[in-house]
A and B are shown apart, each in its own frame.
Chain A
Amino acid sequence: MPTSIPADSVGLVQPQQFHFDQPLELACGRQLDSYSLTVETYGTLNADRSNAILICHALSGNHHLAGYHSMDDRKPGWWDSAIGPGKIIDTKRFFVVGLNNLGGCHGSSGPNQLNPETGVPYGPDFPIVTVPDWVESQARLADHLGIQQWAAVIGGSLGGMQALQWAIDYPQRLRHCIIIAAAARLSAQNIAFNEVARQAITRDPQFHDGHYYAEQAIPKTGLMLARMVGHITYLSDDGMREKFGRDMKSGKLSFDLSPQFEIESYLQYQGERFSTAFDANTYLLMTRALDYFDPAASFGDSLSEAVRGAQCKFKVISFTTDWRFSPERSREIVDALIDAGKAVSYAEIDSPQGHDAFLIPIPRYMEVFGACMGQVVADIPCAVQESR
């Protein structure tokens, strides 16, 4: 709970609900006749609507990027470290937009929301949505907000994939694309971890083939296991050693299966907390969106060809100990962009925190990110800056 709101926080914020009635054709062949998106915005849209930034969320993220919903909140939004007045993504300069993606579980149309056609939650019947589907829905949100061109689209991990897709699908609609700790496609190893997570969920007896809402059940164990596996892959070996080592809770072995090492209780605690805060069907759907992401596939397997039409300036950032979305994957994006002759810069941040690093305000990361944002500011049309 914040006893007082810090000066560099966006403060108390409220999400908004946007409803869309124009049917959305999805990659899977199905369509959503209507849908809702839960959105949060910070800062003020300038007169010619040229200072808007879209932040795309990762697997377990949502629209609540920064600030607090109430003074009882235990924590601020998931990227509060980067978004706020005077912060790296400065809400005094930018109009920042965050949304819960379609298929999410925080208010946007998704498995845990009522299907208007049936009056019961979609559950497993909610279509498998893809990164391009999300970008399409985000473009319609931009239309709705009157934003013709984003000053930047920014995302980490799965969010970075959306940023990349934006540059490919809507070259005219963004000036900068900042891709952090992402990949142009998942490796087999990465898909393998997702599959373990999915098996853990779908094999939980409480899963009921995804119709657990009607059964008043939650596949808690499955979701918890899925999250535990995820967490292991988001940390690095060194990071875990540094944070937990072989530290024991009581200081001695108890010769039974109760959690004795600190790392065990940490994972169980994290998994437990997540299992009641997140929706299992959404988790399944999000991991599929990750697996399916492969913009090069439609361009003869050439990422260079996929990005050839892009017009924005790219910044790519990775973290040395991130093995779930390793620097090699980011370098593949960079190589393709250079090959296609696109404006791109790349920084590889030294950090022990693995994939989690993209949410941590590491000094050099913030320095690099800040320099990138300086360019985003510089490219806001002059007339607007003068009129401010």
Chain B
Amino acid sequence: MRVDLDIIQNWIRPGTRVLDLGCGDGELLSYLATHKQVEGYGLEIDHDNITACLEAGVNVIEKDIDEGLATLRNASFDAVIMTQALQVMHRPDQIIDEMLRIGKECIITFPNFGHWRARSYLALRGKMPVSKFLPYTWYNTPNIHFCTFKDFERLCVERNIHILDRTVVDNEHRDRWWLRLWPNMLGEIAIYRITR
């Protein structure tokens, strides 16, 4: 399993109820169902991913998260997860509010735009960073709301969101000890566990 997903699954207690926003092919939910008896639902809009979930027996709901989650009741999930999708949301702040309303706690991962490679790319070349990991150019990218770890934590302070756990991994989702020395410079992917 991808290391970030492995970190996340460690934070999920057995027998709980989990909502995965942008669940992809259902890898995490499938693992949680098999190994932790988790009752999980994934929201997804990509057709191939939806079919993959159906084939894997993962509960998948075709839904555009940007349209809102109003029909889901307050605190109706033990955990709400969003991996690598925050930056494509129209209003990341509103979706985080919704996640915190629906879930008792939330797990969010996103790429760190404060990583040294992104910083140096922009500083030295004067162009928006393009990399193997983030291959889009500015005009066709689905990633419309990049932030850095610092930005995210500032939002948490402003909105009275408690950070329960945080960790960083590199772009291959590996956990490296040195990333923790200066996460906003060295970490490429952030994994936060938050609650209200």
B61 — which chain A residues lie within 8 A by C-beta?
334, 338, 344-346
A348 — which chain B residues lie within 8 A by C-beta?
62
Cβ A343 vs Cβ B71 within 8 A: no
A371 at the interface (CB under 8 A from B): yes
Q: How far is the CB of B29 from chain A (nearest CB, A)?
A: 11
A296 at the interface (CB under 8 A from B): no
B164 at the interface (CB under 8 A from A): no
Of A315, A338, A341, A346, most buried by chain B (CB within 10 Å of CB) is A338
CA separation between A341 and B60, bound complex, in Å?
13
B123 — which chain A residues lie within 8 A by C-beta?
none
List which B62-120 residues lie within 8 A (CB) of chain A.
62-63, 71-73, 76
A372 at the interface (CB under 8 A from B): yes
A378 at the interface (CB under 8 A from B): yes
B137 at the interface (CB under 8 A from A): no
Cβ B73 vs Cβ A339 within 8 A: yes
Cβ A345 vs Cβ B59 within 8 A: yes
A368 at the interface (CB under 8 A from B): yes
A264 — which chain B residues lie within 8 A by C-beta?
none
B168 at the interface (CB under 8 A from A): no
A125 at the interface (CB under 8 A from B): no
Q: Which of B17, B47, B50, B72 contacts A341 (CB 8 A)?
A: B17
B41 at the interface (CB under 8 A from A): yes
A17 at the interface (CB under 8 A from B): no
CA separation between A378 and B54, bound complex, in Å?
12
Cβ A378 vs Cβ B57 within 8 A: yes
Q: Which of A338, A346, A371 contacts B62 (CB 8 A)?
A: A346
Cβ B59 vs Cβ A343 within 8 A: yes
A191 at the interface (CB under 8 A from B): no
Cβ B17 vs Cβ A345 within 8 A: no
CA separation between A367 and B55, bound complex, in Å?
10
A368 — which chain B residues lie within 8 A by C-beta?
50-51, 54
CA separation between A355 and B34, bound complex, in Å?
37
CA separation between A343 and B58, bound complex, in Å?
9
A364 at the interface (CB under 8 A from B): yes
Cβ B55 vs Cβ A371 within 8 A: yes
Q: How far is the CB of A318 from chain B (nearest CB, A)?
A: 9
A335 — which chain B residues lie within 8 A by C-beta?
71-72
Interface range for B? 20 to 34
| Given A345-B60, A346-B62, A338 contacting B51 (CB threshold 8 A) | no
A324 at the interface (CB under 8 A from B): no
Q: Which of B51, B57, B71 contacts A331 (CB 8 A)?
A: B71
A385 — which chain B residues lie within 8 A by C-beta?
none
Annotate B18-58 by CB proximity to A: 1 below 8 A, 0 otherwise: 00000000000000000000010100000100110111011
Q: How far is the CB of B113 from chain A (nearest CB, A)?
A: 33
Q: How far is the CB of B164 from chain A (nearest CB, A)?
A: 25
CA separation between A58 and B63, bound complex, in Å?
27
B63 — which chain A residues lie within 8 A by C-beta?
346
CA separation between A364 and B73, bound complex, in Å?
31
A375 at the interface (CB under 8 A from B): yes
A374 at the interface (CB under 8 A from B): yes
A142 at the interface (CB under 8 A from B): no
Cβ B55 vs Cβ A374 within 8 A: yes
A229 at the interface (CB under 8 A from B): no
B41 — which chain A residues lie within 8 A by C-beta?
338, 344
CA separation between A355 and B159, bound complex, in Å?
44
A139 at the interface (CB under 8 A from B): no
CA separation between A347 and B58, bound complex, in Å?
13
Q: Which of B39, B54, B59, B73 contacts A371 (CB 8 A)?
A: B54
A367 — which chain B residues lie within 8 A by C-beta?
47, 51
A344 — which chain B residues lie within 8 A by C-beta?
41, 59, 61
Cβ A345 vs Cβ B71 within 8 A: no
A338 — which chain B residues lie within 8 A by C-beta?
41, 61, 72
Cβ B71 vs Cβ A372 within 8 A: no
B47 — which chain A residues lie within 8 A by C-beta?
364, 367
B54 — which chain A residues lie within 8 A by C-beta?
315, 345, 347, 368, 371-372, 374-375
A346 — which chain B residues lie within 8 A by C-beta?
60-63
Of B51, B63, B72, B73, most buried by chain A (CB within 10 Å of CB) is B51
List which A178-214 residues lie within 8 A (CB) of chain B.
none
A372 — which chain B residues lie within 8 A by C-beta?
54
Cβ B50 vs Cβ A339 within 8 A: no
List which A329-388 residues lie within 8 A (CB) of chain B.
331, 334-335, 338-339, 341, 343-348, 364, 367-368, 371-372, 374-375, 378
Contacts from B to A (Cβ < 8 Å): 17, 39, 41, 47, 50-51, 53-55, 57-63, 71-73, 76
Between-chain CB contacts (< 8 Å), 7 pairs: A331-B71, A334-B61, A338-B61, A338-B72, A345-B61, A346-B62, A347-B62
Q: Contacts A331-B71, A371-B51, A375-B57 given; 5 further ones with Cβ under 8 A?
A: A339-B73, A347-B50, A364-B47, A367-B51, A368-B51
Report, nearest first, the 5 A-B pairs whose CB atoms are least far apart: A371-B54, A335-B71, A346-B61, A371-B55, A348-B62
